[in-house]
Amino acid sequence: MVPLLTLVATVFANFGGIVMPEIETKNEWARGLKGVNLFHNSMSNCSQRTRVALEEKEVSWTSHHLDIAKDEHATDAYQSINPNGVVPTLVHDGRTIIESIDIISYVDEIGHGPSLVPDTDDLRAELDAQLTTAGDTQGAIKVLSHEFLFKPVRKMNDKQLAALRATHGNRDLIAFHEEFSKGFSDERLASVVKEFADAFDRLEGLLQSHGGPWLLGTQFTLVDIAWIVNVHRLDLMRFDFRHWPALKAWLGRMQQRPSYKNGLEKWEPKGILRFFGLYSRLRSLFGGGVNAYIRK
């Protein structure tokens, strides 16, 4: 059993020129963890992002898988590791780093092989902008995932909501599930689909202007890792990419990379994918799928 950690403070540690949110703890167990440890979930898109980065940079890591359906992220033990009570969390030789965009940047620093950050100032600026946007769309992808994939199994009743309120300290997460339980409005769904359509316009433009094969040109970067999980998630919803053909082709190239296969694909339970496929087809057949909200 994982002993409870005592959260002392949230500090910002500078590693290799990149500022990382880091949680410091005096707990002996946390300080004693050796190597790279990842607390994650198989279907969490942020966890997928970090696993792809770990595979891409050939970093050996120890898995600590949390079953979200069983609320293992809501335990006192895990919330003492990550006070937000969400995944992923990376612990490296006792150092604890949260937020997936920061984790993949950290992994690029400690991993092997070529850097995932471009050398030129203009491309670095573009990388920073697209990493920020990828992180900012997390709320939108959560709405779409729960509405168009998870709805039959993750919508909470009053009893489950009460249990979440009693055990989880993340007020934003609780508010999200309360909204989800009531049902998202058409206006809300249209707004988050537009958020992705606008982001995809930008990614399509990057692929066309830089000539591919990757989002910032010939170099595979953190931007490709940051965005693949969200594009993949919408693909599971049967999202219509006809307006973004270069992005659809990029998705195909990403799916051939070993890091995608080992960090994302192999972790997705086949039964869950079959369920998602069936549910998405049924939603589409009756006119209530994600494509009903794409701008015309």
The C-alpha angle 210, 216, 220, rounded to 5 degrees, equals 130
In this prediction, the residues of the chain whose per-residue pLDDT falls under 70 are: 1-20, 23, 25-28, 30-31, 296
Q: Quote the pLDDT of residue 27.
A: 56
CA distances from 224 to 90, 193, 204 (A): 20, 20, 13
Q: For residue 9, report the phi and psi dihedrals to the nearest 5 degrees.
A: -165, 160
pTM for this predicted structure: 0.88
| 294 exposure class (CB count in 10 Å sphere: 0-12, 13-18, 19+) | middle
Task: List the one residue out of 2, 67, 56 whose CA is nearest residue 28.
Answer: 2
Q: What is the DSSP string of 218-267?
A: SS--HHHHHHHHHHHHHHHTT---TT-HHHHHHHHHHTTSHHHHHHTGGG
Q: Quote the pLDDT of residue 28.
A: 63
Which domains does the chain show, CATH number per domain? 7-110 (3.40.30.10), 121-150+187-293 (1.20.1050.10)
Q: Quote the pLDDT of residue 26.
A: 46
Q: Quote the pLDDT of residue 154.
A: 84
Within 10 Å of residue 162's Cβ, how many Cβ atoms?
11
Length of the chain: 296
